[in-house]
Chain A
Amino acid sequence: MHTPSDRTPAETRFAEVFDHLPAVVAYARRRGSADPEALAAETMATAWRRLADVPRDEPRPWLLATARNLLWAEWRRASRRRPPDTPAVPDEALANGIDPDLERALLSLSRDEREAVLLVAWDDLSPALAARCLGISATAFRVRLHRARRRLRAALADSDQNIEAADLEVGHA
């Protein structure tokens, strides 16, 4: 068994990063990865290979940014495998089981806006850490999140109105 006392200094340092494995698996699953565990494992293998690049104070933004890059690669591969006569797959997906209205509203946001919302709401990053994950300033992130919330609320309001209108039609029938 590989116990902490066996570990080299690099392994000890990596163990601190590796503690965030469940968060990376959850991230990949929430974003609809076809194989969240494998994606998280690849993220951790990258972290080990580039341990000097992983911030010591808070590795999650770095890990989630790496996982996101791997996810995009996964989506690109999925698009490439698509038979020519089938509809294009969306460039991003979300985990199954989400309220369809909310899912539509989230998918109506731009990729950057959606990621800003989800990093805070689902991945439990503070705005400052989410900004690091996206490689932007905290100010830019706040602006992006503000816009995203506004657009998300508008999209959900449209959806609610459509439901009310449908209910009214049913009531008249």
Chain B
Amino acid sequence: MSDILDRVRAANPVAAARGTDLDLFRDIVCSPGDARLAPRRRGRRRWVVAAVAIALVAVGAGAGWAAVSQGPVSLFRSNPQADGSDPSGLWGDQHVIPSSVRDVSAVVVPGVGRVQFWYGETRQGGWCGALRMPDGGWLGTPGVGAGGVVPGCFPTREQVNRQDQVYVNNGFDYAEDDVDLRSSGGGFWRITFGRVTGLRDAARVADLASGTSVPAVDGSLFVIALPDPDPSAQLPVHLVAYDSAGRVVADDRKALDKLRGS
């Protein structure tokens, strides 16, 4: 029966190429502000992908703080996200405006309870975000959660791009933290939170991959919890924001400029 496999082999439509792609390697492993990112080529589509990787990986690098019992203003003031960053750089130089800090919304995670999304703005134009567990702990701090970002203050994509063209500006600035309840019979949850600055005010944000949808608060802010049946694989996430008339105002797979023109 090997003749059948031979026939399939002979019909292989694509020979595996050789070689590597150092630009892509760099896009994936470097953090925003990393000197290795400059100079960059522009207008490459795969930056969309790299941006996601950077957003999820690089911001998890901070460590060494005592945030569990802090209040939200204190948490954002101490900005653990910036630990280890250049104090004058984009990540280090984000100072929260205390009056902007608020409890925006919450999601109920089965087995955990109500997880609050706290939000704030910075004097530099960035944003601050953190997820608070029902017991007061902050997701992403040591011992709390199963991974994801360190809470604190972040530059926006626009800010990063002004310094170095890293991101495709799709209107979304968001982060993710994870909760793993599998050892106690529950599930693995990815909680994505952030803000959308789209073509118009957002009324709703949906993940098209899972069909989950949540209201947007203040025309911009959202928190969405997605069950992940297989954390070892890549859970596809496709965020789209809609206005009150159901029109798309941002799509995390499209640059805003392209969305505006479509």
Contact = CB atoms under 8 A, between A and B. Distances in A.
Interface stretch (A14-22, A82-90, A162-170): A14-22
Contacts of B26: 2
B245 interface: no
B33 to A, nearest CB: 15
B208 interface: yes
Interface stretch (B4-12, B115-123, B127-135, B153-161): B4-12
A111 interface: no
A143 interface: no
A79 to B, nearest CB: 12
B8 A122 contact: yes
Chain B contact residues (Cβ within 8 angstroms of A): what range? 35 or more
A5 B19 CA distance: 19
B14 A44 contact: no
A22 B4 contact: no
A106 B46 contact: no
A46 B234 contact: yes
Contacts of B48: 38
A1 B236 contact: no
Interface residues of A, number: 57
A61 B114 CA distance: 38
Contact of B16 (A22, A38, A46, A66): A22
B45 A35 contact: yes
B229 to A, nearest CB: 11
Instruction: Say whether chain A's binding surface is mostly helix, strand, loop, or mixed.
Output: helix
A102 interface: yes
B50 A41 contact: yes
Interface string B21-40: 11011111110000010000
A22 B208 contact: no
Contacts of A97: 13
A167 to B, nearest CB: 20
A14 B18 CA distance: 17
Contact of B232 (A50, A80, A96, A106): A50
The interface centre, meaning the residue of B1, B13, B27, B46 with most chain A CB atoms within 10 A of its CB, is B13
Contacts of A1: 22
Contact of A150 (B1, B25, B56): B1
Nearest to A99: B11
Contacts of B18: 22
B101 interface: no
B145 to A, nearest CB: 15
Contact of A21 (B12, B24, B49): B24
A142 interface: no
A76 B235 CA distance: 13
Closest 6 CB pairs of A and B: A45-B53, A73-B236, A121-B8, A95-B13, A41-B46, A46-B234
9 contacts: A18-B28, A22-B20, A26-B14, A38-B45, A44-B28, A45-B50, A95-B13, A122-B14, A124-B16
